[in-house]
Amino acid sequence: MGTIHILQTKDNRLLRHNEQGMVALMTTLVLMIVISLIVLGFAQIARRNQRESLDRQLSTQAFYAAETGINDARKIIQEGVNSGLTITDKTTCGGTGGGGFYAGLQPDIDPAKNVKYTCLLVDSAPKSLQYSNIGTTSTIIPMISESGDNIRRVQLKWQTKQNTITPTAGCPTDVNTFVPNGGSWTCGFGVMRIDLARTAGGGLTADGLRDNTMTIFAVPFASGGATNVNYAASTANANNRIGVNCDDTDGCSLRIDFSGATAQNSYHLRVSSIYRDNSLSVEGQDASGTSLEIRGAQAVIDVTGKAQDVLRRIKVAIPLRTTSKNMHSDYAIEMTGSLCKRYSIMQGFISNDANGGGSPTNALCQPF
């Protein structure tokens, strides 16, 4: 048998060992994968931003839908108050388009885009009354027990409206620090004036209201101070400045207790704040401290708005009148400058120093 010889040339050896094309192929594949991941990442970010933008738009629409529900319910309540009707609770989400007190509600705002308010609840006798802005103009708060049980305690809590300061910094430790000049007042809390009058029964008279009204000035203390005070009519409460316990976190708190007086189921509060504006919460409680439902002051409206698959919820307390603010002047005379008395009144006699717009004859009113 013969021998077979395989001739191996230099070019064949080079062809067998040349793998440079494989490296280029792997590099290309890696770059394609990286570029694909980058494109997918940007696409995901774009989709997320688009969804966030859509959610913001839908959230705004849902919020406006909830506000519409608030305004619809408020209009029905105000019309009921003006007509002398009893304001009723709404305890279920459904039935907004049916009969009854809230028959005028129109929850479907834009059916084509699925914008509406899906749930509307009304509490016409809340246990806690909320007031966001108590200032120098007094706020009138009727407190009538829904159950008819006597109100044995009135709990008041207030917070400062000053968000940029430490509330108790500069607060006094002595009630005598409370002076009419507000220029030197550095405490973050205002001085609360509280008038509490008994209004139960049908035989109310001006003298009776005067003799059964408690008036106090609650002075915020930086430390110490009272958390509880017994009811006393102003005619028996000559020293009506009371230091109240306050702190930076929980604000000021004062409870008026009727343990030494005959309690009733109907009162009216008039509150105002001197020096600083405060937010205030008020509760009427029984002897054990359990909060009672209070009617005649506020209604709490709880509405959920919907735009497609986005929901927004709003809960507000509205006065059961046009406003809670006192519509009459809180003072006989109110001014920021000096006052010159230019008239005299006595029994059967009146004298006017105005002189028809000329110079006054009263020496005390002469210009300098």
pLDDT in tens, 137-153: 999 999 999 999 999 99
What DSSP state is assigned to residue 330? S
Beta bridge pairs of residue 319: 298
pLDDT over threshold 50, residue 202: yes
Q: How far apart are CA 366 and CA 340, in angstroms?
A: 9
Q: What is the CATH number that goes with domain 126-295?
A: 2.60.120
Sequence-distant (6+) residues with CB within 8 A of 195 are: 138, 213, 214, 215, 269, 270, 271
Average pLDDT over residues 7-35: 67
The alpha carbon dihedral of 199, 201, 207, 213 has a sign of negative
pLDDT (0 to 100) of residue 138:
93
Average pLDDT over residues 9-28: 62
| Angular region, 275: left φ>0, alpha ψ -120 to 50, beta rest | left
pLDDT (0 to 100) of residue 366:
56
Q: How far apart are CA 267 and CA 285, in angstroms?
A: 12
Residue in the block written with tokens 């698959």? 309
The structure's pTM equals 0.74
Alpha helices in 18-155 (DSSP H): 20-82
User: What are the pLDDT digits (tens) for 103-139?
Assistant: 889 899 999 989 999 999 999 999 999 999 999 899 9
Residue in the block written with tokens 């709003």? 314
Cβ–Cβ < 8 Å for 252, 218:
yes
Cβ–Cβ < 8 Å for 143, 284:
yes
